[in-house]
Amino acid sequence: MMQFLENSGRYLPLLLQGVGITIALTLAALVISTLLGLVWALMRYSGIAPLVFVSKAIVNTVRGIPILVQLFYIYFVLPEFGIDLSAFQAGALGLGLAYSCYMAENFRAGLEAIDKGQIEAAQSIGMKWSLMMRRVILPQAIRTVLPPYGNTMIMLLKDTSQASVITVAELTMRGKLVASSTFDNMTVYTLVALLYLALSVPLVILASYLERRFGAR
C-alpha cells in the first residue's frame, strides 16, 4: 500500500495533464454534438420530406460507422482533401459528429413527447414556427431530454479515451505513456480509472440537478 501511494504521488502530476485535455475534449465534443444533434432532430421533426430524408441518412450513416474509423478518417484522410486538423480538433469533431446522432435521438424523443393539442393551439392563434419552438415545444421537451442527455454526457466523457489512437494526449494516452515507461501497470491504470470516476461523478450530480431544476421526472 505504501508503495502504491508513493508511486501514485509520482505519476499523478503527469496524469493530471491528461485530465485537462480530457475535460477540454469532452466540452468541445459536447458542444458540437449538441448543436448538430439539435439540427438533425429539428430536420426530422419538421415534416419536410427532403429534410427528414437527409436527417435520417446522416444519423443512420454515422451510427453505422465505428467512432475509431471516423476518427481515423477525419485525421488521416481529410488532409488529402486539403483539410488539415490538429489531433485535438479531429478528436473533437469526430466525437462530436458521432455523438450528435445519439443527441438527435434524445432531442427527437423530447420533441415527439409534446402533446399535439398544444401545437395545434399555438398554430390556431397564429404563432410562427420559430416562436412556437421557443415558447411551447422546446421548454417542455427539455424535461424529457435531460435524463438521457446526462447519460450521453457521461458516455462521451469515457469515449474521449478513443481519441488516444490519433495521438491526442488525453488521460488514457498519458496513462499508456507512463505505464510503458515505468512498467507499473497496476498503479497507473488504477489511477486512470479513479480519475475517470472522479470526472464522471460531477456529471452525474449535474444531470440530477438539471432534472430537479427543470422539473424532469
pLDDT score of 118 more than 90:
no
| Distance from C-alpha of 83 to C-alpha of 46, rounded to nearest angstrom | 32
| Distance from C-alpha of 98 to C-alpha of 59, rounded to nearest angstrom | 9
Report pTM.
0.86
Range of the domain at 137: 2-213
Q: Is 197 left (phi over 0), alpha (psi -120 to 50) or beta?
A: alpha
By CB neighbour count within 10 A (0-12 exposed, 13-18 middle, 19+ buried), where does 124 fall?
Answer: exposed
Q: Is 91 left (phi over 0), alpha (psi -120 to 50) or beta?
A: alpha
Q: What is the mean pLDDT of residues 120-149?
A: 76
pLDDT score of 121 more than 60:
yes
Higher pLDDT, 202 or 209: 202
CATH of the domain at 69: 1.10.3720.10
- How many domains would you assign to the chain? 1
Does residue 176 contact residue 164 with C-beta atoms inside 8 Å? yes
| Per-residue pLDDT, 147 | 78
Q: What angle do CA 59, 101, 37 make, to 5 degrees?
A: 110
| Distance from C-alpha of 129 to C-alpha of 135, rounded to nearest angstrom | 10
Assigned C-alpha cell, 149: 442527455
What rounded mean pLDDT belongs to the chain? 87
pLDDT, one tens digit per residue, over 51-97 is 999 999 999 999 999 999 999 999 999 999 999 999 999 999 999 99
Residues 6+ away with beta carbon under 8 Å from 11: 178, 182, 184, 187, 188, 191
| pLDDT bracket for residue 102 (50, 70, 90) | very high
Q: What is the mean pLDDT of residues 22-41?
A: 95
